Chain A
Amino acid sequence: MAFYDYLIVGNSVAAVGAVEAIREVDRSGSLAIVGEEPHPAYSRPAISYLLTGEKTPEQLAYRDPDFYRRMAVELLAPRRAAAVDPARRRVTLEDGACLDYGKLLLATGGRRVTPPIAGADRPGVFGFISIADVAALKEHIERHQARRAVVVGGGLIGLQAAEALLRIGLTVTVVELMDRLLALNLDRRASATVEELFRSHGVELFLGAAAKEFRPRPGEERVGAVALAGGEELPCDLVVLAAGVAPRAELAREAGIRVVKGIAVDQHLATSAPDVYAAGDVAEAYDFLEERARPIPIWPNAYHEGRTAGLNMAGRERSYRGETAMNALHFFGTPAISVGQYDPPQEGYEVRELAGEGFYRRLVFKGEVLVGLVCVGDAVDRCGVATGCIRDRIPLSEEFKEKLLADFRFLSLPEEWRRRRIRGEA
């Protein structure tokens, strides 16, 4: 049996954030990561570059090849954790190995949601969240000389898949339940820009449409068509199913650790069980804008959560500063960014917009404070200046609201904040 001062389940960005934080505090405590995937931590948001062939799996590595040695981490991969016993401080792996820990971090991320569509387990239906998914998809395309793809789900992941499939020469159709693309990432106007981009590149969009069944090819098991609830049938050689991700919280749930949607954590990223922490897509951490805990499955938040958990695990008390929803997207070379409450949740918000050729910017204020933004095209430049206004709740008078809308720069901030930024004060 093995003992580790620090044990981490899951080997992705939240784990790396934790490792880097632990090693800032404790150079010598023993540390191991159990990872199900047979790779060092890699850039999940960049897996579409594997499909297009622009990157190899090695080039997707999130850290340098020496990372695990440098950080004195024992990487136990590919191996899967099967159970956690918080009372005995023990993690049991699927292969029967028992690992005891001083502190445990659950960083198991998310899994794809499979909506109730008949035939969802048919050959030729793929997820798009791992290197293995992309490898399987690629293999299928080559073996069957696939030419037509249907992507179910017009969110971030589905559209990354759709653009990549198009770039390698397939005909692509996107089916989305909501009446617009990226309904969870952009406001309506920015969604319309993205829809126009996809259509102009020859992608057919079915919006407000539900996939009902993945039908087989005649005489075969594998998928040959997607039937929509509205009656249409879309012939295809493959389906990418990207209808969302959900926290992979079952290890915690089965261990009696408190789970809401994700694993519940306090301001130290500690769970309800002693010395067990959770971070990343599996956890639900504090959203400083919504002023409540909720899962926000994005990369930067996973790092911040992992980092905060790691500092606390190593004994350096640190409160999570809180993050919020933010996304930087780019399709066909056009960038789009959204942060916070860009679609005002109710009355009492003020929306200001500025638009021009290849430029769209929307700022949402609550009283004097910026709470959300959307930028498309050249409007993304220096966007973080505005993100900083949201985070620091910088009070903006009418004058500065207009200045900020026109230009993300320090001269658009009130004097006191300009000086603080120039001095580099957090």
Chain B
Amino acid sequence: MKRVYAREEVCMACTLCEVHCLVQHSRSRDLVKAFKRERPRPLKRLRVEERGPLSFAFQCRHCPEPDCVYACVTGALTKGEDGVVLVQEDKCIGCWTCIMACPYGSIERDLAQGVASKCDLCPGEEIPACVKNCPNDALVFAEEGELAWLSTTT
């Protein structure tokens, strides 16, 4: 399946991916409203890490054998036929077993709602919002097999 991959050699840590991710996962889909007015506050589903000139954005790998799904004690986390790993919020009890299990650190606590929050690859969109809005092609949406060039440039 296609996933989002980071290219740290061209990421500038502008965090526009985080901004657009948050807006995409808001109810209003409006930049100002999403950041300033919506309650509960929408959350971004990816994180930018930065130290000096080094930076990259990162989100869920939608693993072929997802530790989070296997660990989830209520069945709130599922991997669909399309491979996307999703949280069913009404089933999540906020026990954070998934946070303990995910080696990618890609699940966050939504404290307002008491549920796990993670990348859903933007259902309904051809290209996830983070990738679409990256000004530098520092995020690519690709099959694993298409990645040879990525690993040689990093």
Q: Which residues of A contact B (CB under 8 A)?
A: 17, 43-46, 49, 59-63, 299-300, 303-304, 307, 326-330, 335, 337, 339, 380-385, 387-388, 391-392, 408-411, 419, 421-424, 426
Contact check, B74 vs A307: say whether CB atoms are below 8 A apart: no
Q: Which of B54, B99, B154 has the most CB of A within 10 A?
A: B99
A-B contacts, CB under 8 A, total: 118
Contact check, B105 vs A382: say whether CB atoms are below 8 A apart: yes
A-B contact pairs, 23 of them (CB 8 A): A45-B74, A46-B74, A46-B93, A62-B74, A62-B75, A63-B75, A300-B71, A300-B73, A307-B70, A329-B95, A382-B108, A383-B100, A384-B68, A384-B103, A384-B107, A391-B103, A410-B49, A410-B58, A411-B51, A411-B54, A419-B151, A421-B104, A423-B5
A61 CA to B91 CA, complexed, in Å:
9
Whether, in the assembled complex, B127 has its beta carbon less than 8 Å from a beta carbon of chain A, the answer is: no
Q: Name the B residues within 8 Å of A383 (CB-CB).
A: 96, 99-100, 105
Q: Which of B103-120 contact A (CB under 8 A)?
A: 103-105, 107-109
Contact of B105 among A61, A337, A392, A408 (CB under 8 A): A408
Whether, in the assembled complex, B89 has its beta carbon less than 8 Å from a beta carbon of chain A, the answer is: no
Apart from the given pairs A326-B101, A409-B105, 10 other A-B contacts in the complex at a CB distance below 8 Å: A330-B95, A380-B99, A383-B99, A384-B103, A384-B107, A391-B103, A392-B103, A419-B154, A421-B104, A424-B63
Contact of B97 among A63, A300, A385, A408 (CB under 8 A): A300
A421 CA to B96 CA, complexed, in Å:
21
Contact of B96 among A335, A408, A409 (CB under 8 A): A335
Identify whether the interface residues of A are mostly helix, strand, loop, or mixed.
Answer: helix
Q: Which residues of B contact A (CB under 8 A)?
A: 3, 5-6, 8, 47, 49-51, 54, 56, 58, 61, 63, 65, 67-68, 70-71, 73-75, 91, 93-105, 107-109, 144, 147, 150-151, 154
Q: Name the A residues within 8 Å of B5 (CB-CB).
A: 422-424
Contact check, A381 vs B54: say whether CB atoms are below 8 A apart: no
Contact check, B100 vs A387: say whether CB atoms are below 8 A apart: yes
Q: Name the B residues within 8 Å of A422 (CB-CB).
A: 5-6, 8, 56, 58
Contact check, A411 vs B103: say whether CB atoms are below 8 A apart: no
